[in-house]
Amino acid sequence: MTLPDTIEAAATALRAGEVTSVELTEEALRKIEAMNDDVGAFIAVSERAMEQAARADAGLAAGVDRGPLQGIPFGLKDILATKDQPSTANSLVLDPAWGDGYDAVVSERVRAAGAVIMGKLVLSEFALGPPDEEKPFPIPRNPWALDRTPGGSSSGTGIAVSTGMVLGGLGTDTGGSVRFPAAYCGHTGLKVTYGRVPKWGCVPLGYSLDSIGPMARSAYDCAAILDVIAGPDARDVTASTAPGEDYLGGIDRSVEGLTIGVPRAYFFDHEQLDSEMQAATEAVIAALADLGARIVEIELPHSDLAKEANTLTMVSEAFAYHRTDMASERWTDYGAKTRMIIARGAFYSAADYVQAQRFRSWYAKAAASVMAEVDALITPTIIEPAALSAENDLAKRLTQPSYTGPFNLLGYPALALPSGFSSDLGLPLSAQIVGAPMSEALLLRIGHAYQQQTDWHLQYPTGVLEGSVA
């Protein structure tokens, strides 16, 4: 029997009696057993997965329906507290007592929705540092080509979704950390508006930038997850007090009449932008035009500086969190690259941080002026397909453009969508749809409309994993 491979299809099949959560969970466990040693997605697999699945099936049989996530194999980035499993942030530095015995807000909400939490997923150390083979954590590898980066920091979630180890999961995004793995691993990922999803119970990276967002195969699936995790919580003082929305309610509406802006400067004309990535994004633009959207060219000035301001803000705020540990004997407990990235924060002055925030205010006004004229923006998500892991060094990360970081600086929501594959190695390509604050429902609607015309998001990794992936 071929099992459904999206939340949407699985939820329908569960309610039709065509499949059980136990069967979905058994298949997820089989894939984890077959592939995790190669791709490094899970830090820890839950021993209670089958128990959770049986409980979900029993609930549905008794007429207790908690929504689309009930009975769905699901993964959590190991930066989110879970009451039944330790949290590590992929680091030896985090106090083992952190998160002990309680759930993060989002873990609590996903659990209450009846999802089967399969375990804790690999990430960049403290959501920032690249993998370090000298530390006792799995090394994440791109399932489309094991010598390529899967993106970070939510690498484990990206890998698990793309291979079908889970049907959905959560990542965090401070400079692109939901969208990078989605783009490199070939699925959909949503960076939410700052404050849209409560962060209580999540290890911080950049206090004024962090967000928690859904990662799944499709825009529809991301909407189903966001329905569960969005909305205020008094434990997070940065969370919006606005109630969550029905993100699935209008997802089938047409995009006809929407105005979508294309910021050519920087996002489309940068010399480092891969030509196939650009062409794939142009094809998404054409597809949306065919669906009735109006395409206009706009300017979002100084987005190159926005990338720098986001990086400076992120590293400075990370250093503020880690300063005491980094000044102690814990220095070598950090991965070699992690400690070098965070330590850069010590070299930024208060004046540097203030200047970044001054620019942030200016850029926010410029972006708001643009968004007053359009419904959404479209850009490539990344500049190139997944690079060789050996070449994914700090110098490259600092000097190459970022098409994600500017929108973290603004706190805007942004949806990464699969847009094709490279012609040489068959690596995923990705486009990004960006909206004004709290416009997640609109972005998901646009993404869903596009995905009704394409099947890029439904493709599984091939080649190195042939025979392991259903």
**Residues with catalytic function:** 77, 153, 177
Rounded to 5 degrees, φ, ψ at 263 are -85, 95
First to last CA, the chain: 11
109 half-sphere exposure, CB direction, 13 A CA radius: 25
SS3 432: strand
| Whole-number Å distance between alpha carbons of 257 and 173 | 30
What is the Cα 12 distance to its own chain's centre? 25
Enumerate the β-bridge partners of residue 431: 380, 417
| Whole-number Å distance between alpha carbons of 306 and 304 | 5
SS3 344: helix
SS3 418: strand
Task: Name the DSSP class of 92.
Answer: S
Beta carbons within 8 Å of 1's beta carbon, 6+ residues apart: 19, 23
SS3 409: helix
Closest CA to 191 of 37, 411, 406: 411
**Residue 23 Ramachandran class (φ > 0 left, ψ -120 to 50 alpha, else beta):** alpha
